[in-house]
């Protein structure tokens, strides 16, 4: 596809409280836009320099806005940037963007793609809604009749490295030895440390329980608790490697026999690579995503992090590492659910909408 005329302003924020998932999803969408010779720009009020560098490396210019939280000034600045770059779409990703923000930005006749996970707003008065999760069809979205609904895992927007390797096979050893611990860029719930401590406690209580286990812990550049994680690792006596601000997550995900992670977008990355996973709900929206996983029969949920017993976590890790059939089934099911082409489908829908409106595309 050439000459689409597609120009997208990606509006997302990132930080220790809200995490990096919204911005990283926009990075993946920006890559998909560039892949059809369109142009994408990030409009953000807050993000770590390491994250901004990733956008810059993709040729996605970063444009700042005046406010750290959406208000009239933020909407006006977002609109100003969109007009300056000639945006055909504004993609808005974040729980803190509300109906008033959509209305203020849309008032200037910009098409809005609302990227959403939980139908949290009373109404979505926008041109398109993207919910890439398995539970999307179970939610009640109030929209215009003409609003495009891009729902389900076939629209899972993955970064280019995942799209390139999705669906490839992998070895499933009789007994898993490699555990990946990844709870997002900032991990506000502190589940990384809690997981390490739970496994260390299991090793002390049951000698031999985690013998031979290799653990790789991934933390993001915006994680404020890195020093605490390093201390926890040093005190475990386990074989743990800490890696920070990983640019290509496909390598540790393909390395792992099992992952333990939060119930966010990382789930769909793991699924595309066929990596079996244990899931912990670390934020309110994640209960919706985990409910969708249950309908797919994909992965195992340990429930909400607030109710989690560390002993149960450690027991589940050892159980799943020993269960080759479960890991094989989860690997195959994940690859069948996410094929890595979701970003292409979203971009095609945006271009198609422009053509219906009479704007040249494709």
What pLDDT, on a 0 to 100 scale, did the predictor assign at position 198?
94
Q: Is pLDDT at 37 greater than 80 in this prediction?
A: yes
Q: Is pLDDT at 359 greater than 80 in this prediction?
A: no
What pLDDT, on a 0 to 100 scale, did the predictor assign at position 136?
95
What is the average pLDDT value for the chain, to the nearest integer?
90
Q: Is pLDDT at 20 greater than 80 in this prediction?
A: yes
Q: What is the pLDDT of residues 77-121, one digit of tens each?
A: 899 999 999 999 999 999 889 999 999 887 767 899 999 999 999
Question: How do the domains of the chain map onto residue ranges?
Answer: 7-158+340-356, 164-337
Q: Most confidently modeled of 185-194, 215-224, 303-312?
A: 303-312
Report which of residues 222 and 283 the model is more confident about: 283
Q: Is pLDDT at 68 greater than 60 in this prediction?
A: no
Percent of the chain with pLDDT over 90: 69
CATH topology of domain 7-158+340-356: Rossmann fold (3.40.50)
What pLDDT, on a 0 to 100 scale, did the predictor assign at position 245?
81
Mean pLDDT of 251-273: 96
What pLDDT, on a 0 to 100 scale, did the predictor assign at position 189?
86
Q: Is pLDDT at 2 greater than 50 in this prediction?
A: no
Nearest CA among 252, 157, 186 for reference residue 48: 186
Strands (E), the chain: 7-11, 39-44, 61-64, 89-93, 111-115, 128-131, 148-151, 178-182, 214-219, 239-244, 258-262, 277-281, 300-304
168 to each of 54, 163, 337, how far by Cα in Å? 26, 10, 13
Work out the number of other CB atoms within 10 angstroms of the CB of residue 340. 24
- Retrieve residue 30's tokens: 């920006």
What pLDDT, on a 0 to 100 scale, did the predictor assign at position 67?
55
Distance CA 348, CA 362 (A): 9
Q: Most confidently modeled of 244-248, 262-266, 346-350?
A: 346-350
Torsion angle (degrees, nearest 10) of CA 149, 154, 157, 163: -160
Q: Which residue shows structure tokens 């901004």? A: 52
Confidence class for position 156, pLDDT limits 50, 70, 90: very high
Q: Is pLDDT at 251 greater than 80 in this prediction?
A: yes
What pLDDT, on a 0 to 100 scale, did the predictor assign at position 361?
43
Confidence class for position 72, pLDDT limits 50, 70, 90: low
Q: What is the pLDDT of residues 193-246, one digit of tens each?
A: 999 999 999 998 888 778 889 999 998 766 778 888 999 999 888 999 999 888
Same fold, 7-158+340-356 and 164-337: yes
Q: Is pLDDT at 362 greater than 70 in this prediction?
A: no
As its CATH architecture, domain 164-337 has 3-Layer(aba) Sandwich (3.40)
What pLDDT, on a 0 to 100 scale, did the predictor assign at position 227?
85
Confidence class for position 66, pLDDT limits 50, 70, 90: low
* DSSP result, 140-167: ---B-TT-EEEESGGG----HHHHHHTT
Nearest CA among 93, 77, 81 for reference residue 23: 93
């Amino acid at each position: 596809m050439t000459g689409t005329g597609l120009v997208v302003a990606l509006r997302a924020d990132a930080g220790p409280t809200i995490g990096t998932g919204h911005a990283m999803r926009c990075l993946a969408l920006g890559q998909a836009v560039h892949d059809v010779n369109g142009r994408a720009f990030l409009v953000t009020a807050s993000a770590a320099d390491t994250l901004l560098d990733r956008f810059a490396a993709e040729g996605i210019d970063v444009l700042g806005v005046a406010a750290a939280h959406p208000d009239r000034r933020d909407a006006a600045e977002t609109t100003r940037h969109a007009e300056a770059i000639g945006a055909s779409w504004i993609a808005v990703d974040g729980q803190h963007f509300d109906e008033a923000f959509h209305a203020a930005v849309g008032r200037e006749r910009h098409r809005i793609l609302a990227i959403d996970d939980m139908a949290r707003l009373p109404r979505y008065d926008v041109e398109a809604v993207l919910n890439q999760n398995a539970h999307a069809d179970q939610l009640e979205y109030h929209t215009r009749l003409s609003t495009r609904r891009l729902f389900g895992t076939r629209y899972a927007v993955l970064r280019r490295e995942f799209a390139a390797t999705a669906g490839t096979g992998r070895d499933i050893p009789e007994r898993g030895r490699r555990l990946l611990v990844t709870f997002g860029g900032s991990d506000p719930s502190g589940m990384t440390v809690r997981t390490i401590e739970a496994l260390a406690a299991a090793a002390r209580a049951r000698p031999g329980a985690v013998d031979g286990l290799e653990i790789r812990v991934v933390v993001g550049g915006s994680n404020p608790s890195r020093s605490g994680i390093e201390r926890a690792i040093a005190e475990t006596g386990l074989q743990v490697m800490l890696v920070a601000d990983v640019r290509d997550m496909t390598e540790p995900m393909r390395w792992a026999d099992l992952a333990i992670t939060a119930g966010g977008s990382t789930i769909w990355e793991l699924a595309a690579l066929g990596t079996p996973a244990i899931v912990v709900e670390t934020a309110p929206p994640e209960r919706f995503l985990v409910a969708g996983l249950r309908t797919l029969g994909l992965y195992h949920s340990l429930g909400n992090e607030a109710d989690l017993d560390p002993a149960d976590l450690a027991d589940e890790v050892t159980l799943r590492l020993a269960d080759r059939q479960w890991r094989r089934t989860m690997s195959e099911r994940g690859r069948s659910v996410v094929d890595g082409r979701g970003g292409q489908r979203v971009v095609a829908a945006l271009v198609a909408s422009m053509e219906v409106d009479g704007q040249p595309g494709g």
